Amino acid sequence: MNKVVLVGRLTRNPETRYSQGENPTAISRYTLAVDRRFKREGQPDADFIRCVAFGRSGEFADRYFTQGMRVAVSGRIQTGSYTNRDGVKVYTTEVVVEDQEFAQSKSENNAPMPSASAAPAAPAEDPGDDFMNIPEGIDEELPFN
C-alpha cells in the first residue's frame, strides 16, 4: 500500500498552473517542512517534502494555503525522472495529494510563531471554537501531558 500522512508548515505560497486543453485542470505545487521526531546534533531538524495537488484540491491550496501555515496532507508517494538541459537525469519524489486540511485555527495562523525556548501560552478563548478550556493547575489529573 502506498499511503503517506504528513503534518507540516508550508515553506512558501503554493505555485499553481493550469493544464492545457479543453478542460484546464489546476496543478498546485508546494513544499512542506515536516519536523523530524528524533533530532541529532548536526543533523537537519526537518524534512522538506514536495507535494502536488490536482483539480479542486489544487484550487483549494492556491486559494487558502499561505507560507508558514500548518497543514495536514494525505496522499501517495510518486517517483519519476527527467533529463535536464545539461543532459543529466534527475530523479524526483513527491506526494500526490489525495486529501489536505488546515492543521491550525485562523487565530493560530495570525499569531506570531513561538520560539522553541518560549513557554507555551494559555490558549485564547475563541467563541467559534468547539473545545473547552482546561482550567490551570489540573495538569497532574490529565491522562496525557
- Whether the predicted pLDDT of 88 surpasses 60: yes
Residue 127 in any domain: the answer is no
Q: Is residue 101 one of the residues assigned to a domain?
A: yes
In a domain, 61, yes or no: yes
Q: Residue 65: which of 109, 14, 112 has the closest Cα?
A: 14
Q: What is the pLDDT of residue 122?
A: 45
How many domains in the chain?
A: 1
The answer as to whether 120 is a domain residue is no
The answer as to whether 54 is a domain residue is yes
- What pLDDT digit, counting tens, does each position of 94-139 carry? 999 999 999 987 766 565 544 344 444 444 444 455 555 555 655 5
Asked if 66 and 28 touch (Cβ cutoff 8 Å), the reply is no
Rounded to two decimals, what is the model's pTM? 0.70
Across 4-29, average pLDDT: 96
pLDDT for res 5: 97
User: Is residue 125 situated within a structural domain?
Assistant: no
CA angle, 125 then 127 then 129, to 5°: 80
Query: What CATH number is given to the structural domain containing 75?
Result: 2.40.50.140
The pLDDT, as a whole number, for residue 124 is 45
Using DSSP's 3-state secondary structure scheme, residue 134 falls into coil
Q: Is residue 141 part of a domain?
A: no
pLDDT at position 119 is 42
Residue 62 domain boundaries: 4-113
Residue 89's alpha-carbon distances to 27, 28, 31, 52, 79, in angstroms, are 23, 24, 22, 21, 13
Q: 52 with 16: CB under 8 angstroms?
A: no
pLDDT per position as a tens digit, 20-65? 989 999 999 999 999 988 878 878 889 999 999 999 999 999 999 9
Answer whether residue 79 is part of any domain.
yes
* Residues 50, 64: Cα–Cα separation, whole Å: 18
Q: How far apart are the C-alpha atoms of 131 and 20, rounded to whole Å? A: 45
